[in-house]
A and B are shown apart, each in its own frame.
Chain A
């Protein structure tokens, strides 16, 4: 059974960084890119970028280009998304998504940024 399991809720202060993990089960990790998508409270879906687990190549959305880093550990089938210089506008649920046509989604990680 395919599953993407994400790390738990994070509470951060403005200016801090957060690193969210996404562990894949039930399919060959290197077969599909891992996307990161966020959703602010009551808002729509925003694509942040993706990483190719096979070679580590990344593509970031322009809105996040300067402060996001996506990495992976193929030995543990885990992808990571680090976002720096957090502001209250970064308060959101962060999802990883993978598989053909992004069919598989993690359960989401709430990141709350508050002073």
Chain B
């Protein structure tokens, strides 16, 4: 199965700052990578799909990039509601797999 490794495990930033989260795949997943945001007590929420396409109603401050094995999620200017856990997911090959998550916390 394809292993996704996210870094860093925890990212401490202040509102207004820029965040960059990374996801590395153990094999080529082409562009078939998604990003999810999860807040405590809630199901995951789709942010990005196919590496760089924003899901419905996702604000423009979120952007995704990458292909193959290296991907990134950027948040241009952090809002208080952006502090959460972020997961990448590949759907290139079954089984689908998730990264272990990056916790974005308020500094």
* Residues of A near any B CB (own CB < 8 A): 35, 37, 44-47, 49-50, 59, 61-62, 95, 97, 100-103, 105-108
- Classify the secondary structure of B's interface with A: loop
30 contacts between A and B (CB under 8 A): A35-B96, A44-B100, A45-B38, A45-B89, A45-B101, A47-B89, A47-B95, A47-B96, A47-B97, A47-B98, A50-B94, A50-B96, A59-B95, A61-B1, A62-B1, A62-B95, A97-B43, A100-B49, A101-B46, A101-B49, A101-B55, A102-B46, A102-B91, A103-B46, A103-B56, A105-B43, A105-B44, A105-B45, A106-B43, A107-B43
Q: A49-B95, A103-B56 are in contact. List 14 more A-B contacts (CB 8 A).
A: A35-B96, A44-B99, A44-B101, A45-B36, A45-B89, A45-B101, A47-B95, A47-B97, A50-B94, A95-B43, A97-B43, A103-B49, A106-B43, A108-B43
